A and B are shown apart, each in its own frame.
Chain A
């Protein structure tokens, strides 16, 4: 009788515990949105997307005509470049890894340090940055104006053939908004397909939200809070601290939380590309970070077993929807 009571009590406690966990971690928090957002000043259109895609792949947007946006944001590398140090940044003292442009339609702050607040504002930065495409918008407008093949593309997009900096930026932003992660096995699980991800990955999801508290920053369906944190990497780069008042200590060494969707197999990971496997990344978050005044308050040490780390990695791999099917555009002739 006593044993029966104990079993019933244990069942009740387990049931309450499981129910609390379910309440706390809602799969619906990770549900994909139904539509791609766009500002009223630059609505999504097929014609603008076509123009933006052509511009994105055109190396004539760089001064020496040798680098396009797609050189560093390549469809073959999940719209990044797979490099620790981006092309052209080899001589920089503090180079930063190329972030993906997937799911950028939802970004509220762009660049690792958040210095651009819209895709339209961001679009011209790589074109005009000396160590990247090293061009200027005035000369680019003139160059594109001489390429006859661009005229119908601008006319279709905007109603006339005029080429301006603003129109180039709007088209590039529009194309990038269409780059959305494919549905992954995790998404299917969120939608109710219980067998879509393994038991190990399901345990990893629990660890992600509980023990490891990854979800404090890697939240929403994009697994980012669009915010800035110093995660205690041994790197002198001040990140967001370079672009905001120096007295804001908490933003020193702070970088934007990157998405965890569609992670490349071997990274590189972190803003400086300093890690190449996910186990190393997890161990950094466990207790490998530097304690300093600017360290994010969300950086709290924890300890995982080898099995838990494997579960967490299994979960992260379920966020991969595979490469986007994209046809390279035909570049307009002179």
Chain B
């Protein structure tokens, strides 16, 4: 087949558009200067040292913990909900489905503000200050839930629900069916939903913006504040570290499970 020259150039331009900003970041992270400049003035690794400072590490830990917990909890609630929605697929469940998907449509910052008001209300009326970490996690569960239901639901769309009847008739209890057949059948979807949820949570700023607090500030918020405060290449170095962690994880999953199997 003859390659179209225009198409080749077009594809290359789109690729350039997607990758070039990252390239700048990688280069900027090696700058020896104290302010972000491009091109860089001298080569240095000092920002990488700052990338592993206690402030970033604690932010990373918070983001990691929130991400993992929110992902697990949204799966625990999401799998049964997705099963129910797929099994009893009618007008009523379709309406409920829309409600479950609504957190995607509501701007994160609105959701964040609403939850912040709830926190203030509870603090005032019940004189109970809920821990910020806990509130942050609740907020993240809300935004992850639609993704979980969507991905897990995709796996159930092709699921033959008579399989449950077949298992029961062979003597399986509900628990047997769930552990031996249901969960193993949707493992790829569970992995897929977990990765998607974790990344969504880890990257999120809008939902965290009104809810973080002392000892519960996620990494993206710290990065944002540092850009505002210092404007030095430190954040660029953190970004590059995150970039490589993500590439590493993707590579690992690709090797062990095959990324193409996701959501199928």
The answer to whether A and B interact is no
Q: Which residues of A contact B (CB under 8 A)?
A: none
